[in-house]
Amino acid sequence: MAEPFGLVAELTYRCPLACAYCSNPVELSRYRDELSTGQWQRVLAEAAGLGVLQCHFSGGEPLLRRDLADLVASAHDLGLYTNLVTSAVGLSRPRAEQLHAAGLDHVQISLQADEPALSDRIAGTASFARKIEAARVVKELGWPLTLNVVLHRGNIGRIPEIVACAQELAADRLELANTQYYGWAWRNRAALLPSRAQLDHAEEELRAARAGAGLDIRYVLPDYYSRYPKPCMGGWGARQLIVTPGGDVLPCLAAHTLGLPRASVHEAALAAIWAESPVFQRFRGTSWMPDPCRGCERREIDFGGCRCQAFQLTGDAARADPVCHLSPDHRLITEAVAEAGKRGAAEPLAVRPHR
């Protein structure tokens, strides 16, 4: 069993945005009790002792934690590389300067689109102007800047404009990640899943936009259009661990949906949770796999795909990910894709979550 490489510290699920693809838990009332500053500092120290090298401060919106700079400073003092994953709403210059002084290494800002009206509609609130201003502050302070745009049928037709926006902001990296269908995204899948025609056109535009773009562009294909599934988090319980606002420890961002035994920093140290807890052991490695995964030559490449996606689609987390063309449940994917092809490209987004 290898040591974990990264910690995702989900400081809070509170957020000023209301994106229809949000992967945070749907029932947010269960997550009102958040770890204190001291408890988070203990988690960070235990993570560093376990071998973690990177800490991603995420949420929700981590800027809503008043102690964010203190937590960044603690992680920095422990030798962790720190990344702020933020909507940038609330990233004023004074707040940015405070985080810079605390030792923050990197900033990742989410954009919903390249222009105000569409971006604000997708985000559910007027936020585009603040995001652009914050991105400029990030570059002025000398941080590396990653822009992350979650793609769906409402914005996937604007790849060239999104790339141009990233260039204008002097971003170092642009992540174009198609929606993963968990949480609110699952509830809104009918309004979010692009058609094959939309996807093909977007990929053609992406190839053209990459030429001479001058920045690192990472593109994540929608699972539903892949022949094989992606390896979940580099393998279940293999490289990453997630600590939720209330202290639960998970192998992936959506593992709370599976009904597995709970592991919490209130009850055990991170090292014991990583090595011994049922939630990390359940799908670690390959011995748990059913056919066709058990005999597949890709079993140590994609690890059977995403357990949360398998559960979401079939009700059984141990089944082969239906995304795989070899899965006995693959028809669930082909049916969803066929239905997406019947809907209009400009179909409005479904009901958004409220924070």
Per the annotation, binding residues for [4Fe-4S] cluster are: 15, 19, 22
- β strands within 4-162, DSSP E: 6-10, 54-58, 81-86, 106-111, 145-151
Residue type, 40: W
Tokens of 90: 């609330």
Rounded Cα gap, residues 128 and 139, in angstroms: 17
- Confirm if 318 and 259 have CB atoms less than 8 A apart: no
- Per DSSP, the residues of 129-141 read HHHHHHHHHHHHT
Proportion of the chain in helix, strand, coil states, percent, rounded to 5? 40, 15, 50
Helix axis angle for 68-77 and 37-50, nearest 10°, is 30
- CB count in 10 Å sphere of residue 96: 21
| Residue 37 DSSP label | H
d(CA 290, CA 309): 16
Query: Alpha-carbon distance 326 to 328, whole Å?
Result: 6
344: Cβ contacts below 8 Å, ≥ 6 apart = none
* Residue 49 in tokens: 């002792």
Per the annotation, where are the binding residues? 15, 19, 22
CA–CA gap between residue 56 and residue 340 (Å, rounded): 34
| Residue 237 CA to its chain's centroid (Å) | 16
